Amino acid sequence: MAGTEMQRVVDEDDDIPRRSVARSSWDWNKICAYHTNRVVRIQDANLGYLYWGIVTIVVLYIQIVVFHIEGRHTFQEPGLGAVITKFKGKGFTKDGKAFDAPDLRYPIIEPSGAFLMTRRVTVKDQKMGTCIDWDSPERCPCGEHATCGPENFCEVKGWCPSLGDGNMEHPPQGAEVEEILGLEDAVLMIVAGIGFPSIGQTFHVAGSSPDSSTLHKHITVPQLLELADPPVKLEDVAQTGCIIAVNFFWSCDLSWRSDCEPQLSVKRLDAGTGFVQKRAKKKTTNGVETREAVYMYGLRLIVDSSGIGRQISLVPIVIQLGSCLALVQIASMAADFLMVRMYDKERCDAYYRCKVVETKDYSEMQERLDLVSDQRARAREMVSGGQIRSGGTGAGVSLGLGAGARGSMSAVLRGRNVGARSGASG
């Protein structure tokens, strides 16, 4: 019986039975898979010293500086402070006049401090006229609204005789100068407090703790001036006055304690220029308006209460621990950088091979695979369109695999047909 000759070209895809692809169940091991870094343990003393040294520095920095000194593991809030200053005492002049608190302090109640008069210059019965303005004296030649006076100063319209900064050392004739004595025994009572609304409802008052200092509650004027930076003596500023800042700074850690006390800071601010307040009181007599001008030199106290409250919180702790883990990576980066640079070439290459795994260059192989796929697609299109006879395509199609691959499938099929004919003739 004669065998049937098989086609010389067989599509390899037709030999593969078409099977219905069953929908596989979800593999949670693959779905929940994650990536992790591979760790290489380098046994080198020098690199180990560097690595663990940097790690130790980072850990100590986080523990001492960040946690202990700066307190970044706590929730921090600026406080709302309040102060009040009271004055008790009297002053006297050489001619026997007495001054009590309403006379020495102006204004009497001030929310941010106090003013204490040490010297007063008064000019009564000033009248409107033309004279030198000693608040801002100008030399001749003068402008449009001024004339040159006998002292080579410009005279302008104003309250005369003038009293200002330019002639305080030599007041005009008729001025009354009063120097206040006896302020060494005057007492200041300063009350300061602060609250932190987001941390607690407690309002902290300075000096309320049993072991706190209550010096600021009853402190004399000379004692307060001695605490200034630099120290000030009352007799040195009695003529010109000065500006003194008194600051209560609170740094309260309310994690474990409910009480808190401030630090007192006193500093002179005027840099030697002094301080003066000016007042004027007008009156009209027989249709003539007059004025009484008063210059008051003294101590201007600026009292302030401010600070920060802290309380341990989980959120900043987690943030700082994350910063610590991030900073530890500096140790690994520094050790890796020196590992392939600080030794001889042979040893550096050995460390490089341990640290770095280089892959093969797959770019050329990918190009060849793409070429094979394109040739197979063109061959199928030509066979399906009838452009190539079924008996002559196997050996004529190049699959991009070299000369040895031409017609390999057709040769195998021809071998099978020859064997079948031989069996039939036998």
Query: Per-residue confidence at 330, pLDDT binned at 50, 70, 90?
Result: very high
Residue 96's pLDDT is: 85
Q: Which residues contact 9 (CB under 8 A, 6 or more apart)?
A: 383, 390, 391, 393, 394, 409, 410
**What's the rounded mean pLDDT across residues 121-131?**
89
pTM (whole model) above 0.75: no
* Contact assessment for residue 91 and residue 182, using Cβ atoms and an 8 Å cutoff: yes
Q: Tens of pLDDT along 215-258? A: 778 899 999 999 998 899 999 999 899 999 999 999 888 888 88
**Spatial distance between the Cα atoms of 193 and 204, rounded to a whole number of angstroms:** 5
In eight-state DSSP terms, residue 145 is: T
Name all domains of the chain by residue range, CATH numbers in brackets: 40-70+314-355 (no CATH), 78-311 (2.60.490.10)
**In the chain, % of residues over pLDDT 90:** 30
**Spatial distance between the Cα atoms of 149 and 133, rounded to a whole number of angstroms:** 11
Residue 200's pLDDT is: 82
Query: Per-residue confidence at 388, pLDDT binned at 50, 70, 90?
Result: low
Is the per-residue pLDDT at 58 higher than 90? Answer: yes
Tokens of 163: 């009293």
- Element housing 98 (H / E): strand 98-99
How do 187-195 and 219-220 pair as beta strands? antiparallel
Tokens of 261: 């006390």
**Spatial distance between the Cα atoms of 167 and 135, rounded to a whole number of angstroms:** 8
Q: Tens of pLDDT along 149-185? A: 877 888 888 888 888 888 877 888 888 999 999 999 8
The radius of gyration of the chain from alpha carbons, rounded to an integer in Å, stands at 49
**Spatial distance between the Cα atoms of 247 and 227, rounded to a whole number of angstroms:** 12
Strand, coil or helix: 356: coil
**Spatial distance between the Cα atoms of 379 and 367, rounded to a whole number of angstroms:** 19
How do 113-132 and 154-160 pair as beta strands? antiparallel
In eight-state DSSP terms, residue 215 is: G
Query: Taking all residues of the chain, what is their mean pLDDT, rounded to a whole number?
Result: 81
